[in-house]
């Protein structure tokens, strides 16, 4: 991937409406595909989608509640 197709995580975070530190954590953990660290700065592709790993199916609702 060409560096011209990459943007800093601060700009990416503004685009998606998230905090910069949240995007940086995703980069550090390897959860943001295509993220590259150059020096001390992280860069992501312009068209990268923000991964959302939340369970939205409702499968775990009341999972901790004791069953009688």
Q: How many CB atoms lie within 10 A of CB 30?
A: 8
Cα gap 56→12, rounded to integer Å: 24
Q: Is 7 helix (H, G, I), strand (E, B) or coil?
A: strand
- If we measure between CA atoms, which residue out of 15, 40, 43 comes closest to residue 27? 43
Question: Distance (Å, rounded) from C-alpha 12 to C-alpha 64?
Answer: 36
Query: Once rounded to an integer, what is the mean pLDDT over residues 39-67?
Result: 84
- Strands, sheet with 41-45, edge to edge from the N-terminal-most edge strand: 6-8, 41-45, 36-38
**pLDDT tens digits, one per residue of 4-47:** 899 999 999 999 999 999 999 999 999 999 999 999 999 999 99
């Amino acid at each position: 991937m060409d560096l011209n197709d990459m943007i800093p995580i601060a700009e990416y975070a503004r685009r998606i409406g998230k905090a910069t530190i949240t995007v940086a954590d995703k980069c550090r953990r390897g959860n943001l595909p295509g993220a590259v660290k150059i020096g001390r700065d992280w860069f992501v592709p312009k068209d990268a989608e923000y991964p959302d790993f939340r369970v939205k199916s409702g499968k775990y609702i009341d999972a901790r509640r004791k069953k009688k």
